């Protein structure tokens, strides 16, 4: 009898150990998921959104047989166009101190109803000097157009441009200063404590298109999402020349932003249903505008999305207005050797 009791005691202790181990594993697994979500949250649109916008742009340029493709390839060399779209996020997460300052290039922290040029003029001098996503785009463009720019600088500037155009189309990257673009707005999402910015960067896309991301390689999933968007918006009116300045894109995101902040713990299903069409449109439109910008920076293509003299004049006028407020843009982006790609 004592032997049986001893065996039961041992078995009970063993089961407690098993339960404790399971509890630890579950907690560790949840912590890993939350860590991944937290890392992803600082990346506008997340990897999927940025890669998809770049894939849409690449598909358009390929269908057009645009001469820009050859010049892009010459600049990127071994770097892939689609995956280069997240280089700007990867580099700011590096351990190299010089690159951490690039975090400021990804945002414009604006109030409801702000006009970009007025907002820029009223900025604190220190904030104005370190730049934001619009001035970073203008500075990158300057580097690409400058015949004196070396190959490494052009490589980095092109990857910055592909990424920052995507950033400008995520409404919370023109988010309110007081909550850091929704990063300080806490929400419950499928049982997890996330920020509203995290939800917009990746969760709406992932949750709204689960079937697209259920199988295949990551590159196959990105192509499937891009194809889905191109089919969904094939009748969508392409933006006219009045909507091809960077401040116009800021204004579009600002218009979309107020509703995004109206999250009342309604749950993933309802919130995704309200915003999945808008998110799809912004990801797709970013791709269309990346293609347009490539055709504008690397001339030679004539057709839909080809640059016009009138459009270029409006862009030049906008640049001049920004420079009049900020001064020389050449110091906005201080390019350095990249610890990631050797460029």
> Does one domain contain both 35 and 174?
no
Would you say residue 340 lies in a domain? no
Please work out, in degrees rounded to the nearest 5, the angle formed at the alpha carbon of residue 160 by the alpha carbons of 156 and 163. 140
Tell whether 315 and 263 lie within a shared domain.
Answer: yes
DSSP one-letter string for 188-219: EETTEEEEHHHIIIIIHHHHHTTTTTSSS-HH
The residue written with tokens 């791709």 in the block is 287
- Residue 243's nearest CA partner among 154, 150, 188, 169 is 169
Question: Distance between CA 205 and CA 183 in Å, rounded?
Answer: 18
Q: Rounded to an integer, what distance in angstroms lies between the CA atom of residue 36 and that of residue 52?
A: 20
Q: Do the domain assignments include residue 339?
A: no
7-37 tens-digit pLDDT: 445 455 544 544 554 544 444 333 343 334 4
66 closest CA partner among 222, 240, 228, 290: 290
Q: Are residues 130 and 5 in the same domain?
A: no
Q: What local confidence, expressed as pLDDT, does residue 125 receive?
A: 82
Which residues span the domain enclosing 102?
A: 45-331
pLDDT tens by residue, 223-281: 999 999 999 998 666 555 556 789 989 888 888 888 888 887 678 889 999 999 999 99
The per-residue pLDDT for range 283-306, each reduced to its tens digit, is 999 999 999 999 999 988 887 767
Last residue of a domain, one of 41, 56, 71: 41
One domain, residues 110 and 22: no
Res. 123 pLDDT band, cuts 50 70 90: confident
108 C-beta neighbours (distance < 10 Å), count? 25
Number of domains in the chain: 2
242 assigned to some structural domain: yes
For residues 29 and 104, membership in a common domain is answered with no
- Residue 96 forms part of a structural domain: yes
Q: Give this prediction's pTM.
A: 0.82
Asked if 30 and 61 sit in the same domain, the reply is no
Q: Are 228 and 112 in contact (CB under 8 A)?
A: no
Pairing, β 186-189 against β 192-195: antiparallel
Q: Which residue has the higher pLDDT, 155 or 261?
A: 155
Give a yes or no: residue 338 inside a domain. no
Q: How many residues are recorded in the chain?
A: 343
The whole-number pLDDT of residue 333 equals: 63
Residues 25 and 65 in one domain: no
User: From the CB of residue 78, how many other CB atoms can be counted at a distance below 10 Å?
Assistant: 9
CA–CA separation, 219 vs 225, rounded Å? 10
Q: Tens of pLDDT along 164-188?
A: 999 999 988 887 878 888 888 888 8
| Residue 268 and residue 167 share a domain | yes
If asked whether residues 104 and 17 sit together in one domain, one would say no
Q: What is the CATH number of the domain that holds 243?
A: 1.10.575.10
183 lies in a domain?
yes
Residue 336 placed within a domain: no
Predicted local confidence at residue 260, as pLDDT: 86
Average pLDDT in the chain: 80
Task: Name which of 174, 149, 189, 339 is nearest 272 in CA terms.
Answer: 189
Strand partners, 192: 189
Residue 189 domain-assigned?
A: yes
- Segment 42-61 shows an average pLDDT of 86
Element (H, E) at 57: helix 46-64
Average pLDDT over residues 40-69: 85
CB contact at 8 A, 292 and 60: no
Q: Are residues 24 and 75 in the same domain?
A: no
* Whether residue 5 is found in the same domain as residue 53: no
The pLDDT of residue 63 is 94
Q: How far is it, in rounded angstroms, from Cα 63 to Cα 76?
A: 20
Paired tokens of 221: 């999933």
Q: Are residues 111 and 163 in the same domain?
A: yes
SS3 130: helix
82 DSSP 8-state letter: T
């Amino acid at each position: 009898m004592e032997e049986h009791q001893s065996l039961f005691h041992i078995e009970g202790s063993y089961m407690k150990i098993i339960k404790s181990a399971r509890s630890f594993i579950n907690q560790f697994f949840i912590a890993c998921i939350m860590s991944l979500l937290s890392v992803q949250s600082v990346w506008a649109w997340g990897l999927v959104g940025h890669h998809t916008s770049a894939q849409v742009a690449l598909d358009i340029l390929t269908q057009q047989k645009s001469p820009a493709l050859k010049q892009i390839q010459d600049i990127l060399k071994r770097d892939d166009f689609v995956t280069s779209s997240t280089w700007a996020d990867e580099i700011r997460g590096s351990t190299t101190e010089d690159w951490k300052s690039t975090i400021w290039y990804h945002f414009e922290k604006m109030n409801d109803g702000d006009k970009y040029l007025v907002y820029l003029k009223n900025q604190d001098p220190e904030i104005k000097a370190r730049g934001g996503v619009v001035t970073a785009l203008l500075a990158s463009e300057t580097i690409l157009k400058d015949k004196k720019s070396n190959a490494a600088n052009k490589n980095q500037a092109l990857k910055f441009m592909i990424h920052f155009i995507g950033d400008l189309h995520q409404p919370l990257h023109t988010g309110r200063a007081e909550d850091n673009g929704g990063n300080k707005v806490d929400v419950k999402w499928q049982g997890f404590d996330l920020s509203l910015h995290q939800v917009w960067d990746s969760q709406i896309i992932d949750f709204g298109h689960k079937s697209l991301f259920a199988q295949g390689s990551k590159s196959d999933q990105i192509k499937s999402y891009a194809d889905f968007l191109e089919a969904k918006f094939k009748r969508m009116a392409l933006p006219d020349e009045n909507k091809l300045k960077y401040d116009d894109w800021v204004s579009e995101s600002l218009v979309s932003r107020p509703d995004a902040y109206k999250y009342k713990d309604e749950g993933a299903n309802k919130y995704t249903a309200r915003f999945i069409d808008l998110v799809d449109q912004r990801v797709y439109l970013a791709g269309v505008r990346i293609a347009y910008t490539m055709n504008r920076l690397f001339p030679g293509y004539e057709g839909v999305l080809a640059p016009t003299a009138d459009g270029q004049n409006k862009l030049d006028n906008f640049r001049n207005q920004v420079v009049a407020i900020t001064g020389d843009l050449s110091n906005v982006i201080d390019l350095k050797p990249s610890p990631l790609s050797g460029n």
